[in-house]
Amino acid sequence: MSITLVIVVVLMLGVIFVNGWTDAPNAIATAVSTRVLRPGSAVRMAVVFNFLGALAMTLVNSKVAATISNIVTFRPDENHLALVVLAAAMFAIVLWAVAAWYFGIPTSESHALIAGVTGAAIALGGFSSVNRDEWIKVIYGLIISSVLGFGMGYATTKIIEGLFYRMKRRTANTVFGIGQAFGAAGMAFMHGAQDGQKFMGTFLLGIYLYNSEMVSRSADGSFIIPIWLILLCSTVMGVGTSVGGYRIIKAVGMDMVKLERYQGFAADTAASLCLLLSSLTGIPVSTTHTKTTAIMGVGASRRLSAVNWGVVGDMVLAWVLTFPGCGIIAYFMAKLFLVIF
């Protein structure tokens, strides 16, 4: 087996681990912050539903994985070099994600993945390596995850308040506490459906570049994702969440907006619906963007001052910097890896 492939696999598992460390906690942040679930129970639940989400959505619709694996193209005669720059991209993503975690900023590993792979591909083949038709879906996803997440968070909260305004507070806490536990499970499920597919698509791209015969393809040319890969990615992601997720849980679920249980339920429901719509249409969106903008919408439904806009500003800055920042790091890491390997 090629040493380059081993490095790619190790670094890819590292990226998936870091995704669980820095990104997956967004799915369970509100349930932990409102004390519906304890951190340990929430993490265990996230592991199970991440796997189920990745499995179910892959069997129903693997368009997200296809989009990610096709976002860049390489010439058939440069597969070894492409494998080298893919390894460089994974290394750059890990660097970017760990830095974001250190500062407690829930940056999007989805966009870091896209930026890293794109920057590394440009280092090898120039801008002609970028598949613009697939890349435009990323831009659509950025708009959808921000606008629709905020709007649905706002609307869902208003609907709940209108329907249940006569309900006693204690009863509401009980009812929406149960609902939020299911909502957190739904978010974990959709995180697996979205982010799991992104990383599995990239994982299979690396194996394909090493030996195309090792990867099965469907009639439309997209990769067929094996069960073992779904299980592997979900497990590694879950381990990452259990190791370092609390810092991100605090930033998203506690620092940005102080939520009551019905508001946490509204945020989880709104974000899950947005992610489901995006997954079914094959648009790769960021679970981080979707969940955090849904929480912003929930807070804004009460009053704009209920949102800690200082925390929001830090998050938005990280989002804006992810594409150029991670892409540039991947570009120069790719140049370095091409010299070394």
pLDDT of 157:
92
pLDDT digits (tens, 9 = 90+) for 161-202: 998 888 888 888 899 989 989 988 988 888 887 877 778 888
pLDDT digits (tens, 9 = 90+) for 212-234: 888 887 776 677 888 888 888 87
Q: What angle do CA 125, 127, 128 make, to 5 degrees?
A: 70
Which residue segment(s) compose the domain that 138 sits in? 3-340
Low-confidence ranges of the chain (pLDDT < 70): 1, 23-26, 60-69, 101, 104-107, 220-221, 244-257, 305-306, 311
Q: Rounded to the nearest 5°, which phi and psi values hold at 191?
A: -60, -45
pLDDT of 246:
60
pLDDT of 231:
83
Q: What angle do CA 148, 149, 151 make, to 5 degrees?
A: 60
Q: Residues of the chain with pLDDT > 90: what percent? A: 15
pLDDT of 155:
94
pLDDT of 124:
92
pLDDT of 64:
64
The number of distinct structural domains making up the chain is: 1
d(CA 10, CA 23): 19
Q: How far apart are the first and last CA of the chain?
A: 15
pLDDT of 260:
83
pLDDT of 88:
93
